Amino acid sequence: ENSEVDEKTSWEVYYPPFEAAVKAGVAAAMCSYNKVNGEYSCHSAEQLTNLKQVMGFQGFVQSDWWALHDISVKEGCDQDMPGIGDAGIGMTAKCSPPKCINNATWYSPEMLSKQPQEYIDESVTRILSSIFRLNIQRSCAPPSCKDWFLKNVTSPKNNALAHYIAAESAVLLKNAG
């Protein structure tokens, strides 16, 4: 998919949910497979600059699984979900076997070593700042996180909140034609 969207429409229609998430303090955002104005979203310096610099997003941007087609740390994608699930996904003329050093991830040490240090430092700072802000480092330290991930956090209060949110989010449509 490729969505051709002018700047005015982007700011009036598509960006408000992202702006709201940024204002709410979201720690991470995920870029996806789609193209916006001919560029994959994970590689779009324009989209990622709008998120980080214009909207003031302080968290980090992570690719969706296999959404990268090249390394894009310079453009603003801070973390790559690793792995190639399909030989046609995530591979391009620039990087397909046997050309790639490590086909499992675009953000391998070998690939990152070819990037300017300032971009790596910015990405690492964003990721570690989010971990620190959310106090994740005190919750568990990999690989000893199984108990933390499997912890049952269900409570009557959380169940009531989830029910309320689901009820308030339901939209009824009527076909008037």
Q: Rounded distance, CA 135 to CA 78, Å?
A: 20
64 is catalytic: yes
Q: Are 102 and 56 in contact (CB under 8 A)?
A: no
Residue-wise DSSP of 68-135:
-SS--TTTT--B-----SSTTSS--SSS-TTS-S-TT-TTSHHHHTTS-HHHHHHHHHHHHHHHHHTT
Quickly tell me which residue has 């051709």 as its tokens: 4
Write out the two tokens for 32.
Answer: 């996806």
- Catalytic residue, chosen from 64, 70, 78, 80, is 64
Please report, in angstroms and rounded to a whole number, the separation of the first and last CA atoms in the chain: 30
Catalytic residues: 64
